[in-house]
Structure 1
């Protein structure tokens, strides 16, 4: 890893001239991905946990450019759905190294995983309900499994991502030993798994480590009372600063805190960063089309929308916004929104930005995690193109959709 790789990339750190050229060449809205930054973030994380098995949580960004780069960097891949398993394999992953974390898996997902495991017995299936193990058994599967534990402690940037206390995720903590005994009789029980939440920064770190400690305790209990384990997987959840005044995590310090929380453990520690690896490696470029002065606000209309980036509408998420065309223009409070016919289609309200004018180019930062993954076609808007920067070169890694693409499956 480059020793001058900063722990966070701010919007001001992007090459504005290059962003302007990319927007002129490829149009807007446009996702711009720095593939080298993805690798730097993964390596920084992995260096903080030298004794752990670090897997990338594919759900944060399943683009082939991301998956291929991480595989080249030495990462393994954790998948939450059958499509992610297939995309990881298409990107070059060895199926024997994959881990599939099943959450209320549809029949098709389980069928796919069981079929995949027939020729790739190294595949690990994680179940978070007794039903999942019953359904695997009914399919004749008796291979590698892990039990997802619900530690009863949720952390993260929003209640909708505090999975550690959401009954949807995992076996209730006190039921795990009994379930482990049953599972160990019919499967190769190799690990337990948990994920407390997402977007964890300084204020949530102590609670996050408390959840990690509970999961480690359960790992020791299962090893003592049921069977030796290959790993205890503590998930991901480590955040990045979306706001300009937030400081990034010192991953070396985080590594020490996690090791203290885990304590002595015979099984290997496994971690699954997703957001941390990709969030600040991508931004969205969007063009201003409307500037409207009203008594309530100065409204700036852009061609990106909640179809391009839904996180502000879905979670109330903050994403930094910068005027790429004129970053030194005097800042004024503005509200920036897109063309969708809903009040939810707003990226910020009364935020000081270098005053936008029509045809200015704006950049929306920290769009790499759950950005394109949640892009949609609301209002029949084709999804944007995505270009990748790697080694100084730029290439299109996802073509811009057309309206024919949007309607291609209609009959």
Structure 2
């Protein structure tokens, strides 16, 4: 791409290239553009020149994404053991990683502590006093940060408004006492908060107010003794065609005004903002059924390919890339799973699909492949990355042998062998 518009719509993709990819790699197919991933990160990083901008790996842990971001200088924030391992395998220096533990299983803490023994720059963020006690019991006395629950949540869905969910973080009023305790046991280097996800223009002021509360708490705790205050991510992208994109420079100024002066480095960890519009799904129409109340369009993608509409009632734009100029018709688009939740759109105006047409489902980069699954024993799709004028396979299509391999290899085996 020669420029970096604030959002990439489905109409901006090269339709002929998409059709060629569908023909070569079959469908359903995830199509990623790594250059767009890098452009989105650079735009965000430029808006916050005085901050450290990490990438929240949970949005998309594909090696192609992680490697592309490491190439432009991004650090990585990880929420699970597997993300730590994948970041390292992609080339990240473990000393730069930040591990945000949420009710971490024992194996996750064991791995993080062992990693920190070799790479003491690793930072472990805890959201419960219990987590810090468990770290101490493992002999850990290194770098830690406290995850704060500010009591304010923002975002596109109640399931992602983490700032007011008791699952996440220490209640703000308990943080000063906990900080004093942790300074006796660990190297307390930071505070962390993640208020919510998918924040758009109308929610920026409330989001900034929550970040201001975090900054106030940092000053109360003693920001001069802290290396950083991590304000999380949550900055959204418009999934609906009529939603305007965030003016990230205006957002950055709003956040800076709300936060005020800090005697510590600001950190941010965008995930969705970086990858959402950098990937789409190609699906082939296999059925067109006229029903009394609607026209049902069946495709070969399903909620096993993209679960967000079923899980979050998420809107994803859909475009008929085979015939974008055909007259629009209100249709319902769904997949082959035997559940009424397997629907991507209901009564949506789309250039009338016909059997064998290729539909593109947009904004699939964030929590798309991450949440792909094997419901109905469906193998997960392939993923290709557009890089320059070409494309390469970065994740092969699963086979049924992949789906059943764990059963085949462990059937009847002792528990020790299964582990």
Query: One fold, TM greater than 0.5?
Result: yes
CA distance in 2, matches of 1:319, 1:242: 6
Counterparts of 2:386 and 2:201, CA distance in 1: 31
**Does residue 332 of the first structure (1) align with residue 329 of the second (2)?**
yes
Using the TM superposition, give the Cα deviation of residue 296 of structure 1 relative to its aligned residue in structure 2, in angstroms.
Answer: 1.3
Shift of 1:203: 1.5
**Per-residue deviation at 1:3?**
7.4
Aligned residue in 2 for 1:124: 123
Matched, 1:378 2:393: no
Quote the residue 1:260 is aligned against: 257
Match of 1:407 in 2: 404
Shift of 1:214: 0.3
Gap regions ≥5 residues in structure 1: none
Aligned equivalent of 2:206: 207
Task: Please report how far the alpha carbon of residue 4 of structure 1 lies from its aligned counterpart in structure 2 after TM superposition.
Answer: 2.5
Equivalent position to 2:311, from 314, 326, 337: 314
Which residue in 1 is equivalent to 2:98?
99
| CA distance, structure 2, for counterparts of residue 347 and residue 330 of structure 1 | 20
Q: CA deviation at 1:195?
A: 0.3
Q: Write the distance in 2 (CA, Å) between the matches of 1:209 and 1:120.
A: 34
Runs of 4+ in 1 over 6 A off after TM superposition: none
Match of 1:142 in 2: 141
SS at match of 1:221: helix
Alignment gaps of 5+ in structure 2: 412-419
TM-score relative to the length of structure 2:
0.97
- Any idea what the Cα deviations from partners look like across 1:42-79, whole Å, max 9, x if unmatched? 00000000000000000000000000000001000000
Q: How does 1:72-87 map to 2 (within 5 A)?
A: 72-87=71-86
How far, CA to CA, are the matches of 1:222 and 1:10 in structure 2? 44
| Distance in 1 (alpha carbons) for counterparts of 2:64 and 2:406 | 26
2:281 to 279, 284, 291: 284
Residue 5 of structure 1 deviates from its aligned partner by 1.1
2:28 matched to 1:54?
Answer: no
Q: What is the alpha-carbon distance in structure 1 between the residues aligned to residue 389 and residue 68 of structure 2?
A: 15
Q: CA-to-partner distance for each residue in 1:246-285, whole Å, 9 max, x for gaps?
A: 0000111011011101101000000000000000000000
Answering whether residue 373 of structure 2 is matched by residue 389 of structure 1, we say no
CA distance in 1 between counterparts of 2:258 and 2:144 reads 24
How far apart are the structure 2 equivalents of 1:47 and 1:390? 23
Q: 1:316-367 deviations in whole A, cap 9, x for unaligned?
A: 0000000010000000000000000000000000000000000000000000
In 2: Cα distance, 1:41 partner to 1:393 partner: 20
Separation (CA, whole Å) in 1 of partners of 2:204 and 2:369: 27
